[in-house]
Amino acid sequence: QVQLVESGGGLVQAGGSLRLSCAVSGRTFSDSVMGWFRQAPGKEREFLAAISGVFGTQYYADSVKGRFTISRDNAKNTVYLQMNSLKPEDTAVYYCAARRGVISPTQYEYWGQGTQVTVSS
């Protein structure tokens, strides 16, 4: 059974930074495309970033490009999301997800439980 467990969320002031982590177990991590998403209250889930397995190719949504950085450590089966210059509108529950195949913003098969990020003004 595949498990994804996020951590690192919390309360931060606007302009601050957070790094989210997602530990993966139960499947071959190195060949999985990993993605980060978020969902704010009353809004649809939003794709943020993805990273491919072996080569680490990255793909970002325009809304976070330049502020967020996705990375992975295949030795630790962990994917990260470094978030800088945070804004109150970044407040949401953040999810990591995994999929097979090519890097993509959609069609993820496995999801974590989410971690809350709150940015105060």
Express each pLDDT in 59-114 by its tens digit.
Answer: 999 999 999 999 999 999 999 999 999 999 999 999 999 998 889 899 999 999 99
The pLDDT of residue 26 is 83
Contact 9, 94 (CB under 8 A): yes
Residues 6+ apart with CB under 8 A from 38: 45, 46, 48, 90, 92, 93, 94, 95, 117
Residue 112 · residue 22 · CB < 8 Å: yes
